């Protein structure tokens, strides 16, 4: 049997039936207020039948932290019933349900926000076209957001989720506080590398404290991006220091966010070491590390597991083939799809907005039509 099909038990006693998790991917399928929808539940049901756990798309912990249209909401008690439907849908197929909790910070589109004003650690816009300049958060507001993460965790518990994942990756608010590009504060929330760690650690501790209200098997994870392209930006040294601190916190796993498990540095093309392998080497003895990124085949997954990481997350791979795990388990590896056909949306149970986004974002997914157009171009 492939090692990724073996059960995995966290230190808190929670057991996954196998080591494959659905990676969190925005699907744009929730209602405008963040309520889950029939299309969204169908998407998750299809991808819960074989996986050990499903990590949902990000759910905003405050109304002004919404980063995407159609995003799951966890910012108000009125959303708990819909969240419970989502948790039950995932669990009914045998997977653990983990809600990713999030604040978009300066990456929030103004038109999705109640007052049209993104916020961040400092009033510095992102380095992207037409980026809005955020308002620097006041001390009291920062503490309120920390508490919002705790309250989101309490709502996840009430909704019956098996855990939460703190979204500290992909340039959103938690990462913005750690980044020297977006955090140029000179108070307790910024300054040195250690001081920039204050907000991520405060959120982690608040979430862990709220999780004590759940059964002991409630899972708390933390996702992060190893590097930033910006200058100054987060370096691998910064991240190794962060994960050393996170490994000392009351967390059940660390989840690396990269596009390719085996890729080297985005900052230094001469540094070809896998970021995931470096993190596993640094803290893997202390805390489980989830590896991710372009693991389309069973051979890819076995090669990744051979590095020592105990868990793998598949995102694009489980959109391309929702039956990936079942096919691997049944010895039908050659039947695993590794490319999308843009005619297969209904068969693959993918919400329409996500499907259109995939089709309009060349290079994000391996798509048959795109490759054939290139071959004949």
**Can you tell me whether residue 344 is helix, strand or coil?**
coil
**CATH number, residue 286:** 3.20.20.70
0.95 cut: is pTM over it?
A: yes
Coil/strand/helix, residue 215: coil
DSSP class of residue 229?
Answer: S
What was the pLDDT predicted at 369?
A: 64
Q: Tell whether 359 is covered by a domain.
A: no
Q: Is 377 part of a structural domain of the chain? A: no
pLDDT at position 377 is 45
Between CA 56 and CA 40 the distance in angstroms is 10
Of 161, 281, 160, 211, whose CA–CA distance to 12 is shortest? Answer: 211
Within-domain flag for 346? no
**Would you state the structure tokens that stand for residue 157, as one six-digit string?**
């518990």
Model confidence at 371: pLDDT above 60: no
Residue 364 domain-assigned? Answer: no
Residue 134: which domain range?
A: 3-338
Decide if 221 is inside a domain: yes
As a whole number, mean pLDDT of residues 168-185 equals: 98
Joined together, the tokens standing for residue 178 give 């750690």
Is residue 349 domain-resident?
A: no
Residues 6+ apart with CB under 8 A from 109: 67, 69, 132
The mean per-residue pLDDT over the stretch 120-137 comes to 97
Residue of 171, 62, 181 lying closest to 117 (CA atoms): 62
90-108 pLDDT, tens per residue? Answer: 999 999 999 999 999 999 9
Residue whose tokens read 């100054």:
232
Tell whether 39 is covered by a domain. Answer: yes
Q: Residues 44, 75, 172, 178: which is the catalytic one?
A: 172
Domain tally for the chain? 1
Q: Residue 357 domain-assigned?
A: no
- For this structure, is 172 an active site residue? yes
């Amino acid at each position: 049997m492939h090692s990724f099909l073996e059960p995995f038990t966290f230190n808190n006693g929670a057991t996954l039936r196998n080591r494959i998790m659905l990676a969190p991917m925005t699907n744009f399928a929730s209602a405008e207020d963040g309520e889950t929808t029939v299309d969204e539940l169908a998407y998750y049901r299809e991808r819960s039948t074989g996986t050990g756990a499903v990590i949902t798309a990000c759910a905003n912990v405050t109304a002004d932290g919404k980063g995407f249209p159609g995003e799951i909401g966890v910012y108000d008690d009125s959303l708990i019933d819909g969240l419970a439907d989502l948790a039950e849908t995932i669990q009914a197929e045998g997977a653990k349900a983990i809600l990713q909790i999030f604040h978009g910070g300066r990456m929030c589109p103004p038109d999705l926000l109640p007052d049209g004003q993104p916020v961040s650690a400092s009033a510095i816009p992102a380095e992207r076209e037409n980026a809005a300049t955020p308002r620097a958060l006041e001390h009291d507001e920062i503490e309120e957001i920390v508490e919002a993460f705790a309250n989101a965790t309490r709502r996840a518990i009430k909704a019956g989720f098996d855990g939460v994942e703190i979204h500290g990756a992909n340039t959103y608010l938690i990462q913005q506080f750690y980044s020297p590009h977006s955090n140029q504060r000179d108070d307790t929330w910024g300054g040195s590398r250690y001081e920039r760690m204050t907000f991520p650690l405060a959120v982690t501790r608040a979430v862990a404290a709220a999780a004590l209200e759940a059964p002991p098997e409630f899972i708390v994870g933390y996702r992060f991006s190893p590097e930033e392209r910006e200058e100054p930006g987060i370096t691998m040294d910064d991240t190794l220091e962060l994960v050393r601190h996170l490994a000392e916190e009351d967390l059940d796993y660390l989840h690396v966010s990269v596009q390719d498990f085996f890729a080297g540095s985005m900052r230094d093309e001469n540094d070809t070491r896998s970021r995931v392998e470096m993190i596993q080497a640094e803290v893997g003895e202390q805390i489980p590390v989830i590896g991710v990124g372009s693991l389309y085949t069973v051979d890819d997954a076995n090669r990744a597991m051979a590095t020592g990481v105990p868990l793998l997350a598949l995102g694009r791979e489980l959109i391309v083939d929702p039956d990936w795990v079942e096919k691997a388990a049944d010895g039908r590896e050659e039947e695993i799809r590794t490319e999308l056909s843009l005619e297969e949306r209904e068969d693959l149970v993918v919400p329409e907005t996500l499907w259109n986004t995939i089709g309009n974002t060349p290079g994000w997914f391996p798509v048959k039509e795109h490759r054939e157009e290139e071959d004949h171009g």
